[in-house]
Amino acid sequence: MSVSEPNSSSVRHDLPAEDVVDVRGALTELDDETLELRRASLKSMLNNSLARYDSVMSRRLPSLAPGVRVKIVRGPLTNQHAIVREADYISERALIEPDEGPAQWLRFASLGPA
């Protein structure tokens, strides 16, 4: 599949002139201060994006497939580890077998990464 240049019929002409930004200009036309401000802004956006990603990934559960080890984070079995035996994604619960005690169904919200 090849990518072609946009043709003139794909350009929107109904935008007000103040909403149109010409991105065809060369960066060499910008002074050093403006370039540095843009670099700092891009670095800030990247760092914020990475922080959001890290935050989400730290709370994300592993796939609750049979055999996956999880930690119980809510309820009477808090801080115990368990093995997932079955997962019911419709009811958002998993059949887990704790290291200590019988197998039981727990809500996904009660489980965390081991």
Look at residue 8 and tell me if it is in a domain. Answer: no
Look at residue 7 and tell me if it is in a domain. Answer: no
Judge if pTM exceeds 0.75: no
To the nearest 5 percent, what fractions of the chain are helix, strand and coil? 35, 20, 45
Look at residue 87 and tell me if it is in a domain. Answer: yes
What value does the mean pLDDT of the chain take?
82
Condensed to tens digits (0 to 9), the pLDDT of residues 64-96 reads 889 999 999 999 999 999 999 999 989 999 999
- CATH code of the domain covering residue 96: 2.30.30.30
Task: Say yes or no: 76 and 106 in one domain.
Answer: yes
Condensed to tens digits (0 to 9), the pLDDT of residues 29-67 reads 778 898 899 999 999 999 999 999 888 777 676 688 899
Asked if the model's pLDDT at residue 14 lies above 60, the reply is yes
Query: What domain count does the chain have?
Result: 2
Look at residue 13 and tell me if it is in a domain. Answer: no
Q: What's the domain range around 80?
A: 69-113
